[in-house]
Structure 1
């Protein structure tokens, strides 16, 4: 409750007004809309159930009617005198047998097949001493090993069977009283799809249909859904039915059941409830649309009322937010003398004062950085230093000490480029010369125990930059990287290249590396001397958001310092 209260208090004043108006208006409309939706949904669901029940009943009745037709046809055939004469006749010759088969039995069977297109085969199996004639009449021995033979034998009522995939047939034994105990069985095979066509039709409308025999074996199963999903209801769940609904795998189904007693089959129809409602979704959408229009009207009226009340407060708030984005300008004016007018005018005076203070602080910070650089450069008397180094170089050459001479020349180059005649702006070429001199001095001091690789794009040498940016990064790589390395030879790579309008410097060492938390703090942690943080502060002060310095390190493998500064060909730009 406290969290909800705090949320309301933190809302904008306009939204508080809109929310209050909205809640007062929307609650009764919401209740009415939900009631209408539920009533419409239940009405549509019941209506769809009735439609399904009617279609289901018609489909099952159609199949039962077809089954009755075939049952009657079999019963009629078993009592047909012509058929009985042909199958029970005591033949004396093959010609006589062929004559009766061809002229009496075959025309009768052809007539039945012509009247019933669904019939695929009609065969009479007989124990009489006959030979096979097409598939119209066959010896009884050909079916005695069939599983259905035992069920038909001795039964004078047509029996229905499903044998294999989509293979449906029925059979009945003839009543042969007075025919020397000859056994005859009439076999009729029916086209599966044609027989169950009514169920195919009803299952094509987002439904599933099962036909189970008396042993709960699946005689027929088909389902089809327009959304491409499969809402199969396992046949094992059908026996759990209570009422006209069932739930399986978190899906609610409408379930209907009808028995086909003459055939010993039970037919089930199931359909997901959400598809029933979806089929009538246009009506529900209309109800929801009307509720949505009411919501929209309420929002428009609420927004208009809130605009009238809080327009000036909102403008002032927007202006304050712009201050967060470095826009120190007041864009709203007020001539009123109410509380809001006083607030706006006071805010204008406050911004003017803040702008004045910022300018003063900014100029003070720039001066401070310049004085720091001047103080760093002024710590050494240039003329005294150059004369001393020249004297050391001359003495070393005279004494044949080449290394001392080289060290004196490197120091002279290093300090000449560092001091840069008191200027903080230097060419990239001279900055690289300064860095190269420093690296060679460090190599001599380290007894050449590390290698140095320079990868410099010559076209960047003519650009200008502020001085003493690379030397602190190289010093950091040597002192905290290579010097900490315990095995293998050290390696230092210094590269400079132009990418677009930027110069990219990379200082890479194969030293001890740094942990991730040290990488995150290195640019914000102040160290002794002129360290990495000072380099970062200087480029941000001079270049602003157009520059960057970051470190990528893998412990015990390497560290790479990457510095990005914009290309500058005009030295005077730095004075500005």
Structure 2
């Protein structure tokens, strides 16, 4: 799969994941916001309606209080006159006075569906001057009426009002579809005999279909609702018929068991459904319950998310071409780099300026690194070529040195000189040494040899050269190593000894003998070979510069020179070995070879 397709797929997956996660977060946040809104709304509406109901009930209490302390009504109720005209005037005055009190209690918006009725105790003498009506038979459209209690004093609501500890009772009059508040009335200025049932009962009636005008409630969800519950646990009014009474009663029981009488919201389950509900206790034993189904909140959240989901589907449909365009724009420089790299046949002929097309920082760094890689490869190729040429040259010199014409000429010249000047058997030894040298030279020239064999060859070499010089040439080998198992390339030590003899003999100084010291030792990692003599010395820095092919006054020899030795051991042991010159503590020139252990 191409990088463009892979990047496109990854981008689509990433964008889809971000979209789904963001939508999930939005949905959760919106749902939480809806829940917070429901909780805040219901708590505020409960508090508001509690205040409204309390204010309304306070107005009823104020009317009752006025009736209790009204001296005029007390005197009217105490009137025992039998004169019909006086009784009519008295009953009219009582209605007028009661209407005056009740009118101040009635809000203007309740004028057409609000009634305040006073049922006078029929034990009062003046009561016979009033009609006998009930809540069901009250056909008057006036908002204030005064009747005799003769027809209602045995009704359940009337008795319940008188028996109530606080002399009030709230009930539903189903016949007239009214919500009623009943309150027992006393009058401190009544002069007749005391009656525990008071002077009568005042009833405030509100049409059920107009009760919500008394309260304030705007449903937050379609199934939000409230109900009024009496202290006996009866539902007096329910605003939403879709919510069952059992649900309200179940939640009301839950609130009683949790002792939650404040307006704080509670999440509870009823009939396997969750509801947010608030319960608040009102005066006169009433409780108001507001609730919102949890499913409504989820439904509104889901409905709100529909538009976002539609938008998300459109975004998902646009993702593939958008991701392809983005992937193409991002991967185009990478593809160009790949094609450029693919077109390289030979890094030595490649124009690295072709890699200067990247504008992005990362790609620019990648191109620069690839340029450095090309330069490094070209340098390696050049080094390999140089090393190959050096290796061929070293091998050629080694082959030439196997039979060194110059050496053979000198050796034969010595033989000739001995033969002319002496008549001795040493001639046979010299010829034998020459034979041994030639045999060592031509036998497996490219294979390593034991150091002990190399030293034996050096002794043969010295025995021949000893005949050319007047003073002794002594080779001292100082080592504690097993030379018969340590391996080195052929002609590694011999050229250094040859140089010590060739350039170390000082005729002007007049030394009595040339002592060449061969010191071989090792540590844990390397083998060290040092060749020194008591002959003439040379500047070691000059020799080291010569070994590194720096411009010096020294000229290469035709045989096995020190450069050849240095190159061959580097080729054989890589960069772990080398030859260099130094002066020891006695001021003697030392040729030191560092080799890894080779057994």
Higher Cα Rg: structure 1 or 2?
2
TM range (shorter): 0.3 to 0.5
Considering Cα pairs closer than 8 Å and 6+ residues apart, tell me whether 1 or 2 has the greater RCO: 2
| TM-score normalised over the length of structure 2 | 0.42
